Amino acid sequence: MPSKLEKFDELETFGNCFKFFFDTIPQGFDLKGKWNSELFKNKQPIVLELGCGRGEYTIGLAQKHSEKNFIGVDVKGNRIWTGAKHALENNLKNVGFLRTRIDFIDHCFAENEIDEIWITFPDPQPQKTRERKRLTNPLFLNRYKKFLKPSGIIHLKTDNTGFYEYTLEIIKENNLPLIWHTNHLYKNCPEDRQELITIKTYYETLFTSKGEDIKYICFKLN
């Protein structure tokens, strides 16, 4: 297994992996508004996974849905390396990865460029002082609104009850359309949505092996 530094070096050579950080904000991001035309070479819907880690969910969804394009986003290059390398080795043309902070996400995509967002097992930031860092805080939702289509859907999967309930409160307070939610996905998963439980991230596998309940929320910003 390559070292962390070796992974960083190899990432620079991957044609399906890109990066964007604070010092590049003044120049802008070359792929903003051009993900389909420049990377995927098609007009298929684009789905983001925020905090993708090793990219298990991004890869899993891409393998099941060749009619869509998928981009995994994470700040940890050594994690992204796993998913990006797997996609290249398996010739998954509908997969890309972006290494950046979610704080900068609205700099990377143009208005109406994204059709869906997945937030899979993010850090729940349980301390009240860190509420602004929760990925369903209104500060982040307003960033997503800049590039998510009006009909676009946000999916959240978490093991954390506090984060689940917090997100439901935010949805209610902001009068956002709530499509469906459950505090026990593995007991209540609809028959036509089995991919919600068959595709698992590393952390989901860890949590379910310990018998923890998985929570799921599906909502819109419009």
Let me know if residue 193 belongs to a domain: yes
Confidence of residue 211 (pLDDT cuts 50, 70, 90): confident
Is 123 noted as a catalytic residue in this protein? yes
137 near 173, Cβ under 8 Å?
Answer: no
The angle, 0 to 180 degrees and rounded to 10, between the axes of the packed helices 4-11 and 77-89 is 60
| pTM listed for this prediction | 0.95
In-domain check, residue 37: no
Quick one: pLDDT at residue 2? 84
**Alpha carbons 220 and 117: distance in angstroms, whole number:** 10
Q: Does a structural domain hold residue 33?
A: no
Q: Note whether residue 125 is domain-resident.
A: yes
Cβ-in-10-Å burial (0-12, 13-18, 19+) of 15 comes to exposed
Assess if residue 26 is contained within a domain. no
Q: Per the domain annotation, does 76 fall within a domain? A: yes
pLDDT tens string 4-62:
888 888 999 999 999 999 888 888 999 999 999 999 999 999 999 999 999 999 999 99
Indicate which residue of 123, 159, 192, 213 is catalytic.
Answer: 123
- For 93-126, what is each residue's pLDDT tens digit? 999 999 999 999 999 999 999 999 999 999 999 9
Residue 133's CATH number: 3.40.50.150
Tell me, yes or no, whether 120 lies in a domain: yes
Residue 87: enclosing H or E segment and its boundaries? helix 77-89
Q: Please name the helix (run of DSSP H) or strand (run of DSSP E) that holds residue 117, with its range, or none.
A: strand 114-120
Question: What domain range includes position 182?
Answer: 4-12+44-220
Q: Which of 19, 8, 40, 221 has its CA nearest to residue 107?
A: 19
Whether the pLDDT of residue 1 is over 80: the answer is no
Predicted local confidence at residue 5, as pLDDT: 85
Domain count, the chain: 1
200 domain residue, yes or no: yes
Decide if 77 contacts 6 (C-beta within 8 A): no
CA distance linking residue 20 with residue 24, whole number of Å: 6
